[in-house]
Structure 1
Amino acid sequence: MSISHGSLPFTEQINFFRSKVDLPTRAWTDIYTVEHDSAFVVAGASKRDLLADLRGAVEKAIAGGTTLEQFRADFDQVVAKHGWQYNGGRGWRTRVIYETNLRQSYNAGREAQMADPELRKRRPFGLYRHGDSAHPRPQHLAWDGTVLPLDDPWWSTHSPQNGWGCKCKKFMLSQRDVDRQGLSVGPAPAVEYEDRTIGVNSPNGARTVRVPVGIDPGFEYAPGRSRLTDAVPPMRAYDPLPEPAPGAKSSTTAAGLPNRRPPGALPAPRPARADRLLPAGLPDEEYMARFLGEFGAAQATPAVFRDVTGDAVVIGRELFTNAKTGALKVAKRGHARELLLLADALKAPDEVWVRLEWQYALGKAVVRRRYISRFQVEGEAVPALAVFEVGSDGWAGITTFAPDANNPDYLDQLRLGVRLYRRGAPDA
């Protein structure tokens, strides 16, 4: 049964979806729970142009109220255009993409409405209602009719949608509504947790998550809640490329979410010639020209470079200039001699990671792509670490021969998000 829309567009739903950013993924487990509030993903869609076209088809359905069959026609056109080989049958895959995006954006829009302080004064309670699923989940049926204050912690994990295909809903009630319908407020249903294994067939491997019984992994959150004004922001500002330090540890991501330890260690450092280190004391123009030349670019002629995943990075003089003054700042961080190693990291990375970061200065989320490589440079006792990161808000890079940079705990600080590529992997 496809989702139907009313005659008027649901503004909060549309705004929620449009404010997402496209995030490439290889499996549905790459993005989890509240990360969906900021990211638009389609499992296995790792190319930016493909993802943008899929997003357009979904947005058309949300904003225009198109049916599942109309979405399937748009989906077929996108697949044919990009030659995308997706997993699963067409009927199942299109239904999952269509219904999950429409329902969760609708639920997020409702959460935004329920957050209105004046409305909450008049309607302070939430009512859980089971949907009309053909094969209802026993726990969802048991929760039907549950009434709790909207600020009860139970809603943080049990606000619909609570699983694949779940059609349950949450409604606001006043005290008068509660009395008229013969309902009672509380207590919250007991919450039992269970360990579930996900990602068995994921390129990044399986992992165990703890979820409330009756809720599918990945749905144990309130859609859109992380965006609301009552959400608590992380305490620290994000430093995208932390400098290595002895015994550095990594326990949280930039978004304040638990860091999933990356599977396996980085590949062993690759040998590099001594001349990959540039001479000291060269003019900034020379350092810049040597870096640009690695990609076929020049000072006045930018070049489009396609990385190992097929994504495009524009290489040009602007990478090294001050946006306001136009002055060169090649040697600003003191790593000008190692610029060719930075180029090597972009051209032939050990790993490529992509993730979503909220930039408070910009008031929006951005997608960052990080290229990591290590090199054993001829004549150097310690392997070099080179990291190039690029996003819609600019780029950053580090190169270092510091011994601490090869500390596994420090390296794990850099290996965050979704790994799209690993040197030597069968699908690399």
Structure 2
Amino acid sequence: MADLPFQEAIDFIAQKVNLPTRRSDDLRHGAHVRAFSVAGVARDDMLSDFRSAIEKARTQGTSLADFRNDFDKIVERYGWKYFSHGKTDEERSAWRSKIIFTTNMRTSYMAGRWKQLTDPDVMRYRPYLEYIHSGSLHPRKLHLSWNGKILRADDPAWRYMFPPNGFGCFCDVESRSERDLLRMGKSGPDPSPDLNAYEDIDPRTGQPEMRIPGIDRGWEYNVGHEWLHGLVPTELQAPLPPIGTPAPARPLPPLPKPAKADPADILPENDTPENYLSAFLAKFGLNADEAGYYRDASGGIIGIDRSLFEQRMPDGTVVGLKSGKRGRGQYAILLADAIQSPDEIWVDWAAVKSGTVLRRAYLKRVELDDGRSMFIRFEWTKNGWTAITGFDTTENYIEAYRKGALIYRKN
């Protein structure tokens, strides 16, 4: 009998948005749930080819060997120079293709498992989950210590310890009923493990991040729970349409009511572009001549420096700053706040001189001290940033900028 397709796992892959990245930690937690990425793949077309190979494996059940063949063809097609382990090209290809394949197969499988296991009809009869260690010859000690531990499916511990809990983690869970527990000699679930969460520092950004002992950095989340209850409501989860394809019309909930702007965040009129730039960078803890990274609310990482506001000639020569352009420089701090505390983050396609690129947009509405409502959309592509602002804008005006695929929405 042929295996039935795992529809929940297929749906998990299908709702993802392609996001090029340069490093494995360019995205974190919820961003991995919403985004399809391959570390080091910054080309949209190459990423789409990897996406197609993974979707084929998920929907058709093709093997790691089949994916390895696709991987080698993609690498040859684009001349990709990738990071890997191994002394020979064959060893390097085998290691890297296995990482990409198993990571996507495991996360989609476990996301689908979570959706199945927490279905109300299932939980009515099987309200417990048992942690099953993979049996690895070189186990992670805490994973091994959780083997056989039974907790209620709604125990908060599963928010962090539901597998996979790291690269190469093949731990699993099984649902259990009251009868199962009695047969095991248990009168109830086991005590929840003390996960001893502690705060560490993101080495790229300097921002605080939570860590859990025994769980690899970046894996401190439940992929299924984040998919169903995370940054983007399930009814708004849709993949990014192909280039040139009109997005299907769908009703969107309104943006949150405008937040009150702090009068101290409105800078003086007719100040210098340099001062506006300095005020913007200061919100990220940077001086005017410094560069840094910032991890946004979706879990994605972006670069911040003065080049965001530099005006350049076609040959790249810097001729000035656009931070005071059109008299909007006095709102530079509000622009920074739109990145740090957006209402929504969208991804869509943008046409530029060099072709078509992905564009990330941060949307926020604020109410100024004089009663005016201000709409901010801060856009980023690999070619630079653009800030769009409008006052007392209509709903139709705002809706025109809410397009593409939603990767974050403020609760």
TM-score normalised per structure 1: 0.59
Name which of 340, 356, 364 aligns with 1:312. 356
Q: Secondary structure at the match of 1:127?
A: strand
Give the equivalent residue in structure 2 for 1:370: 380
Cα distance change on mapping 1:246 and 1:254 into 2, 3 Å: farther
What letter is aligned with 2:171?
C
Q: How much has 1:82 moved relative to structure 2?
A: 1.6
The 3 A distance-change label for structure 1 pair 260 and 97 is closer
- Shift in Å, 1:23: 0.8
> CA RMSD of the aligned region, Å?
4.4
Of the candidates 128, 131, 135, which is equivalent to residue 132 of structure 1?
A: 135
Q: How does 1:406-421 map to 2 (within 5 A)?
A: none
One-letter code aligned to 2:124 = K
2:255 matched residue in structure 1: 237
Match of 2:192 among 170, 188, 191: 188
The answer to whether the 8 A contact 2:362-2:379 is kept is no
- Alpha-carbon distance, 1:227 to partner: 2.9
**Aligned residue in 2 for 1:324:** none
Deviations 1:367-421 (A, max 9, x none): x9614999xxxxxxxxxx94379xxx9759xxxxxxxxxxxxxxxxxxx99xxxx
Could you report, residue by residue, the CA deviation over 1:32-80 in whole angstroms, capped at 9, with x for unpaired residues?
A: 1122111111011111110000011111111121221111101111111
Mapped partners of 2:124, 2:10: distance in 1: 26
Matched, 1:85 2:81: yes
Show the counterpart of 1:55. Answer: 51
In the aligned structure 2, how far is the partner of 1:231 from the partner of 1:172? 26
Partners of 2:141 and 2:380 in 1: CA distance: 44
Q: Distance in 2 between matches of 1:87 and 1:101?
A: 18
1:179-204 Cα distance to aligned partner (Å, 9 max, x none)? 223345121011123455666xxxx6
Change in CA separation of 1:173 and 1:230 when aligned onto 2, cut-off 3 Å:
farther
Partner residue in 1 for 2:15? 19
Give the match for residue 66 of structure 1. Answer: 62
- For residues 215-250 of structure 1, give each alpha carbon's deviation from its aligned partner in whole angstroms, at most 9, with x where no partner exists: 0011111112123269896998379xx999752798
Equivalences for 1:261-300 in 2 at 5 Å? 264=305, 266=307, 269-270=310-311, 271=319
Contact 1:371–1:387 (CA under 8 A) maintained in structure 2 = no
- TM-score normalised to the size of structure 2? 0.61
Where does the alignment leave 5 or more consecutive residues of structure 1 unmatched? Answer: 279-302, 314-351, 358-367, 375-384, 397-415, 418-428
Contact 2:115–2:224 (CA<8 Å) still a contact in 1? yes
Q: What does residue range 348-387 of structure 1 map to in structure 2 within 5 Å? A: 354=360, 370-371=380-381, 386-387=386-387
Are positions 1:247 and 2:291 aligned together?
Answer: no
Tell me what 1:214 maps to: 214
Question: Partner of 1:76 in structure 2?
Answer: 72
C-alpha distance in 2, partners of 1:12/1:74? 24
Whole-angstrom CA distance in 2 between matches of 1:230 and 1:44? 26
The C-alpha deviation readout for 1:6-26, integer Å capped at 9, x for no partner, is 822111111111111111111
1:131 aligns to what SS in structure 2? coil
Taking structure 1 as reference, are residues 107 and 61 closer, same or farther at Cα in structure 2, changes over 3 Å only? same
User: For structure 2, which runs of at least 5 residues remain unmatched after alignment?
Assistant: 85-91, 237-252, 267-279, 285-293, 312-318, 327-349, 364-377, 390-398
Q: What are the within-5 Å matches in structure 2 for residues 32-181 of structure 1?
A: 32-88=28-84, 89-181=92-184
Letter in 1 for 2:103: T
Inter-CA distance 75–151: structure 2 relative to 1 (3 Å threshold): same
Cα distance in 2 between the residues matched to 1:29 and 1:196 = 15
Distance 2:19 2:307 in 1: 23
Residues 259 and 237 (structure 1), Cα distance of their counterparts in 2 relative to 1, 3 Å cut: farther
For residues 232 and 360 of structure 2, the distance between their equivalents in structure 1, rounded to whole angstroms, comes to 24
Change in CA separation of 1:20 and 1:386 when aligned onto 2, cut-off 3 Å? closer
Q: Among all aligned residue pairs of Structure 1 and Structure 2, give the percentage whose two residues are the same amino acid.
A: 32
Are the aligned partners of 1:196 and 1:217 in contact in 2 as well (CA < 8 Å)? Answer: no
Mapped to 1, the partners of 2:209 and 2:229 lie a distance apart of 28
**Structure 1 residue aligned with 2:393:** none
Q: 1-side partners of 2:125 and 2:4: how far apart?
A: 24
